[in-house]
């Protein structure tokens, strides 16, 4: 989610400072690099040692503690992709809004040319103070994003608007600002399939599989965040900012892929497409016959979409297949990429209960035509998607 992103956090003096420990943990869990600056008053609520332990980086508190040629308010500002001030006290908000730079945090804010997010937290009467609201308006007009405090019981014993907003809201706002920073796939059309196809037996029953579509959605989200024109062909209802096409059966998926294939730069077949379909689909519900202990259903092969698009691909197209195996993962994957003739094959072990179907995590191997193999260790599917696209399109 935040892989290779540098997030600078500014903590000011307030009881909500302890909540930022969870924000740091959440950023780090999603692969961000985190550095923290604290005002002197903030150190009365949480210790720099705790922050340093969680962030795995030094904690900055003094205006002129420098170990290099550049003052900290310049070097930290250059390092960071985004600056998040939380909790933001009325005092610090007033200083920033009026250009006062009497500590490291306010000096960085004054010199910072990228996005700043401010999450205020204070007593409800302070929040409603006209001067505080005037300062908030100044920051908003200057391009700061203000994550307004929430209503609830406050540390001072009263109730009202003043509580720091949810940590998840701060994390989501950070992501929204950072997700468009790297546009390496801009002007590339990427078609991705997701989910398990359904082959109807009758109007009630179908032949299907356990695929949740989470890996395909993760790839679509990451490709979109990298600037690609994404087409997601999926077997479930999924609302997104990019184009989605709903299909059900393998034949419907084949038609949708073929319709989008011609001008696609890359096609990623992450869907679990049924190998067989019902030969004679019943238009009415099949009734149970009490005299029969068995039911015979004749199946016929579905078209091999991955093989067909690999055979007919344009010169510069990239075709990526997926391989779900319950045994002999690498051997079967090598056989499959030779047979399908796609450019890359993503192999994962569906026998493991901690990854794969319906899980939010995965562990995969990427194979290319020369049978080079790269392992991506177990991680969130969003991270797996990021690393797959990095591998296909290069690290830079």
Mean pLDDT of the chain: 90
Q: Is 156 a catalytic residue?
A: yes
- Cβ contacts of 221 within 8 Å, gap of 6 or more: 240, 382, 385
Per-residue pLDDT tens over the stretch 236-279 = 999 898 999 999 999 999 999 999 999 999 999 999 999 999 99
pLDDT band for 396, please (50, 70, 90 cuts): very low
The CA distances from residue 248 to 46, 200, 251, 256, 304, in Å, are 53, 9, 8, 11, 16
- The widest CA-to-CA distance across the chain, in whole angstroms, is 89
- Can you list the alpha helix ranges (DSSP code H) found in 325-380? 329-340
The string of pLDDT tens digits covering residues 328-347 is: 999 999 999 999 999 999 99
Residue 377 has pLDDT above 70, yes or no: yes
Q: What pTM was computed for the model? A: 0.64
What are the pLDDT digits (tens) for 65-123?
Answer: 545 444 555 778 888 999 999 999 999 999 999 999 999 999 999 999 899 999 999 98
Q: Do 6-178 and 189-393 show the same overall fold?
A: yes
Within 8 A by CB and 6+ apart from 146, the residues are 118, 120, 136, 139, 140
pLDDT score, position 69: 41
Q: Are strands 82-88 and 6-11 parallel, antiparallel or unpaired?
A: parallel
pLDDT bucket at 353, cuts 50 / 70 / 90: confident
CA distance 252 to 233: 10
What does the DSSP 8-state code read for residue 272?
B
Q: What CATH number was assigned to the domain covering residues 6-178? A: 3.40.50.1950
Q: The tokens of 22 are what? A: 């969870």
CATH class of the domain at 189-393 = alpha beta
Asked if residues 230 and 188 have their Cβ atoms less than 8 Å apart, the reply is no
> Among residues 101, 156, 165, 323, which one is catalytic?
156
Residue 359's pLDDT is 82
Place of tokens 């002007």: 187
The domain spans of the chain are: 6-178, 189-393
**Residue among 340, 359, 351 nearest 211 (CA):** 359
Residues near 312 by Cβ (< 8 Å), separated by ≥ 6?
A: none
Tell me the pLDDT tens digit for each residue of 184-232: 898 999 999 999 999 999 999 999 988 999 999 999 998 998 889 999 9
CB atoms within 10 A of CB 383: 21
Closest by CA position to 231, among listed 222, 216, 239, 220: 220
Q: How far apart are CA 86 and CA 23, in angstroms?
A: 9
Q: Tell me the C-alpha distance between 69 and 66, whole Å.
A: 8
């Amino acid at each position: 989610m935040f892989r290779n992103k540098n997030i600078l956090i500014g903590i000011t003096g307030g009881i909500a400072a302890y909540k930022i420990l969870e924000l740091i943990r959440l950023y780090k869990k999603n692969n961000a690099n985190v550095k923290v600056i604290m005002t002197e008053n903030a150190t009365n609520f949480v210790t720099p040692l705790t922050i340093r332990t969680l962030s795995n980086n030094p904690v900055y508190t003094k205006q002129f503690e420098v170990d290099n040629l550049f003052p900290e308010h310049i070097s930290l500002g250059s390092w960071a992709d985004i600056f998040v001030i939380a909790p933001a006290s009325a005092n610090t908000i007033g200083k920033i809004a009026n250009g006062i730079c009497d500590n490291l945090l306010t000096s960085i804010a004054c010199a910072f040319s990228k996005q700043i997010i401010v999450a205020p937290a204070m007593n409800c009467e302070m929040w409603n103070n006209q001067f505080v609201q005037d300062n908030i308006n100044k920051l908003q007009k200057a391009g700061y994003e203000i994550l307004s405090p929430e209503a609830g019981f406050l540390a001072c014993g009263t109730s009202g608007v003043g509580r720091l907003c949810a940590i998840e809201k701060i994390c989501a706002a950070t992501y929204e600002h950072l997700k468009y920073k790297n546009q390496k796939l801009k002007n590339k059309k990427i078609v991705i399939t997701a989910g398990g196809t359904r082959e109807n037996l009758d109007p009630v029953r179908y032949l299907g599989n356990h695929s949740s579509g989470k890996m395909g959605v993760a790839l679509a989200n990451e490709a979109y965040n990298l600037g690609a024109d994404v087409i997601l062909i999926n077997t479930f209802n999924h609302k997104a900012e990019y184009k989605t096409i709903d299909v059900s059966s393998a034949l419907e998926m084949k038609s949708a892929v073929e319709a989008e294939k011609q001008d696609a730069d890359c096609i990623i077949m992450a869907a679990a497409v049924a190998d067989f379909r019902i030969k004679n689909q019943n238009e009415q519900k099949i009734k149970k016959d009490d005299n029969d202990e068995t039911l015979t259903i004749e199946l016929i092969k579905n078209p091999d979409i991955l093989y067909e698009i690999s055979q007919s691909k344009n010169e510069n197209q990239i075709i990526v297949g997926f391989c779900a195996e319950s045994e002999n993962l690498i051997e079967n994957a090598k056989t499959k990429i030779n047979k399908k003739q796609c450019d890359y094959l993503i192999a994962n072990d569906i026998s493991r209960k901690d990854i794969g179907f319906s899980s939010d995590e995965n562990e995969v191997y990427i194979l290319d035509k020369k049978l080079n193999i790269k392992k991506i260790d177990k991680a969130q599917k969003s991270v797996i998607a990021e690393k797959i696209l990095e591998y296909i399109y290069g690290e830079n």
